[in-house]
Amino acid sequence: MKKFSTRSLTLISLSLIWGWGAPVQAQALAGDAAGVPQAAAPASPGARNPQPLELAANAPDRHVVVKGDTLWDISGKFLQQPWRWPEIWQLNREQIRDPHWIYPGNVVYLDTSSGQPRLRLGQPVGDAGSTPGTLAQNTIKMQPTVRVESLRDTAIPTVSSAMIAAFVNRPLVVTETQMLTSPRVIGTQDGRVNLGRGDLMYVRGIKDSTVTDWHVYRQARPILDPDTRKPIAFEALFVGSVRLERLGDPSTLRVTGTSEEIGAGDRLVPAELGRPFNFVPHPPAQDVKGRIVSIYKGVSHVGRNSVVAVSLGSQIGIEEGHVLAIKQRGREILDPVTRERLRLPDEPTGHLLIFRVFDSIAYGLVTAATDSIQVGDLVVNP
């Protein structure tokens, strides 16, 4: 196959969008009937970063998207700071909120012709003399193509859904009294203390037979501010799922799944519908500063791919998709000569991606960690 210079590759990516066996007219992030987004000026969140974009070591000229890729993975192939993804794509705010436009089979091209790196989107060409992922050298044949399956179902996600699926619909932040009025587990027919999958249980407080699927939570525990030690929210621990079999007082339900053993006194909340999560990672537009206030299941130290809660929420503009830097707070020391008390500098230890937001707290996935992450660590603009 003939080798293309970077300039040639750039010109091709500007003029064509590559199709499997059926190339169509190019649109480098230009909108069309298929919903490919329009090129735009850099998103406002990126304006917070005056430093030029830095490419990752050995960044490729292009990457063929495959099933299993994520936006974060692809960004990391090209950028040293994957959270600056919107800048290299030059996305506007609506495109950041709804990035369902990259699919397996697309090719991501790196364009540096303007002096600033930019990514462009296309599709590889396949013909009798080429294989998927190669660049065709023949005359372009104009021909429409049809994608049969739902595009949203096949678009690549922001991060692996396996990492956060168990948390997207389950962490529950409540008021101090809210759970006290929810239906409660009162026991079993055979007097068993703890319940597992397939067991029957009895619940008081269910009034509506139209709600059949329920989530079961352990009694809410306070999430404390690391400095004041006062509650800033109450978090109920998800322990399982149940289904209503017979309405009454008590009602009869069957356990359909558990993450912890279900017992008397646990509370029920109607199961939420699946909540899609597919936002382009981007930094907050405003200055933010908070703390890690909770680590899932109460462990003391975690690393990459762990879920944490932070003391920032929708009240100050935090939204799903925000990327925050994690810093270890500098400890206080005593100057051995002057006897002054000094605080050492805060040191960066990682990044997290917000995936669920409540009024005063939010849940995030630790996407990178150079040291252990713990309750009390700072979270700030990246």
For residue range 232-245, list pLDDT tens digits in order: 888 888 889 999 99
Supply the pLDDT for residue 323.
92
Residues in contact with 138: Cβ distance below 8 Å, sequence separation at least 6, in sequence order? 127, 129
| Strand pairing class (62-64; 107-111) | antiparallel
355 vs 352: CA distance, rounded Å: 9
Supply the pLDDT for residue 126.
53
Q: Is the peptide bond before 250 cis (omega within 30 degrees of 0)?
A: yes
Supply the pLDDT for residue 130.
42
For 281-299, what is each residue's pLDDT tens digit? Answer: 888 989 999 999 988 766 7
Tens digit of each residue's pLDDT, the chain (382 residues): 444 343 333 332 323 222 323 333 333 333 333 333 333 333 444 445 557 888 888 889 889 888 888 887 888 888 888 878 777 776 655 555 555 567 888 888 888 887 778 887 776 655 434 444 344 333 333 344 444 444 445 777 777 766 666 666 566 787 777 788 899 999 887 777 788 888 999 999 999 889 999 999 988 888 888 888 888 888 888 889 999 999 999 999 999 988 888 989 999 999 877 666 667 788 898 999 999 998 876 677 888 888 899 999 999 999 988 999 999 999 899 999 999 999 999 999 999 999 889 999 999 989 889 999 999 999 999 8
196 vs 9: CA distance, rounded Å: 58
CA distances from 187 to 119, 213, 250, 318, 378 (A): 58, 19, 10, 41, 43
281 vs 116: CA distance, rounded Å: 20
Exposed, middle or buried, 75 (CB in 10 Å: 0-12/13-18/19+)?
Answer: buried
CA distances from 212 to 3, 205, 236, 251, 266 (A): 61, 14, 21, 11, 17
pTM, rounded to two decimals:
0.68
Site of tokens 């319940």: 195
DSSP for 250-276 reads SEEEEEEEESS-EETT-EEEEPPPP--
Supply the pLDDT for residue 278.
64
Copy the structure tokens of residue 31: 């909108």
CA distances from 279 to 155, 229, 244 (A): 12, 33, 34
Site of tokens 């490729």: 60
Q: Which residues of 79-99 are buried (b: 16+ CB within 10 A; e: fewer)?
A: bebbbbbbbbbbbbeebbeeb
